Amino acid sequence: MRRLARALAILAVTGVAAFWYLTAPRSEPVENLTGLAGDAGRGALVFAAGGCASCHAAPGAEGAARLELGGGRRFASPFGTFVAPNISPDPEHGIGGWSVADLVNAMHHGTSPEGAHYYPAFPYTSYARVSLQDIADLHAYLLTLPPVARPSAPHEVGFPFNIRRLLGGWKLLFARHDGPVVKDVPPEAERGRYLVEGLGHCGECHTPRNALGGLDYSRWLGGAPNPTGKGRIPNITPAALDWSEADIAYYLETGFTPDFDSAGGEMAEVVKNTAQLSPEDRASIAAYLKAVPPVRDAAQ
């Protein structure tokens, strides 16, 4: 009996140690970052493609105010309400003190400079596919934006989701680091794949999630319930989206659908960003969407 108790105790200690080890926040190996220099001009495009302002600008901000990244937008979810933090270059409340490595750890690994896990409301599962050079350029650009001296508001997340360490387990289960989602695409769709799967983080809304909030990669871009509760985020695989490539590219430029309705909802916000990309980038996104495996809508 004493031996059993001892065995159980050892097992428990090993289990806790394994949990602690496996759920530790990861960071980028330093050697990957040496010699990386950011270009703020190129970073402006990364910023647009990444849709940073859509979440981190003040709610309803237009024009120049979209570059004031004081945060405050609220995102309701089944796990609680997340509040976008201040990522302006304010040294106290924002990311003014961050190095390139800090931004890489945030975007690739969901790890804060203090070594804590971020919630995946910040789409690091997608941003993990963004190149180190793009992150360095983005870092240089972010530092040129106006500082906002306002503290970030805390997330409103209840037990057990408020235990950040558990996110290490979530990342193990759901954060993939095995390269592109769609492995085979024609050369003209490669840039589009990078933009859709990485910076654009399109899959975060257009792909359904499981009960724990992990993306269902078998239904990649196959449409999902709208987190606001009204309507659905559409299926944009070739099984449902029958627009021509020119139509898709034009929609991303102007917001006009082929029958000249216009984008609404969150997509109106997205088009503000895609309108800033080059015509070649938009065309490549369209080519990628044609190359994605079709996902049939489940019978209702």
Partner 1 sequence: MSLKRSILTGVTIAALAAGGVWAASHGGPPPAVKARQAHMQLYAFNLGILGAMAKGEAEFDAEKAQRAANNLAALVSLDQTDYWVPGTSSAEVMESRLKPEMFENVADAMAKGKALQEAVMALQGAAGTLDGLRASIGPVGGACGACHKAYREPQQ
Q: Can you give the binding site for partner 1, defined by CB under 8 A?
A: 60, 62, 226, 228, 230-232, 246-247, 250, 253-256, 259-269, 271-272, 275
Least distance CB 226 / partner 1 (angstroms):
6
As measured in angstroms, the least distance from the Cβ of 247 to partner 1 is 8
DSSP structure string for 38-52 = --HHHHHHHHHHHTH
Closest separation in Å from C-beta 49 to partner 1? 17
User: Which of residues 14 and 228 has its CB atom nearest to partner 1 in the complex?
Assistant: 228
Report the alpha-carbon distance of residue 114 to residue 192 in Å, rounded.
34
- Min separation Cβ 55 and partner 1, Å: 14
Backbone angles phi, psi at 273, to 5 degrees: -80, -50
Please state whether 91 falls in left (phi above 0), alpha (psi between -120 and 50) or beta: alpha
Q: Please classify residue 4 by burial: count the beta carbons closer than 10 Å to its beta carbon, then call 0-12 exposed, 13-18 middle and 19+ buried.
A: exposed
Least distance in angstroms from the C-beta of 234 to partner 1: 9
Dihedral of CA atoms 111, 117, 122, 123 in degrees, nearest 10, equals 70
Of 67 and 100, which has the nearer Cβ to partner 1? 67
Give the nearest distance from C-beta 278 to partner 1 in angstroms: 14
> Which C-beta is closer to partner 1: that of 104 or that of 270?
270
Phi/psi at 215 (nearest 5 deg)?
Answer: -70, 140
Closest to partner 1 by CB, 154 or 258: 258
Alpha helices in 88-237 (DSSP H): 100-109, 124-127, 132-142, 166-174, 190-194, 203-206
Which tokens is 202 given? Answer: 């399109």
| CA–CA distances in Å: residue 47 to residues 51, 133, 189, 277 | 6, 13, 21, 10
| In the complex, minimum distance from the CB of residue 260 to partner 1, in angstroms, rounded to a whole number | 4
Of the pair 228, 278, the CB lying nearest partner 1 is at 228
Q: What share of the chain is helix, strand, coil (3-state, %, to 5)?
A: 45, 5, 50
CA distance 71 to 68: 8
Give 158 or 229: the residue with its C-beta nearer to partner 1.
229
Q: Is 184 or 259 the residue whose CB approaches partner 1 more closely? A: 259
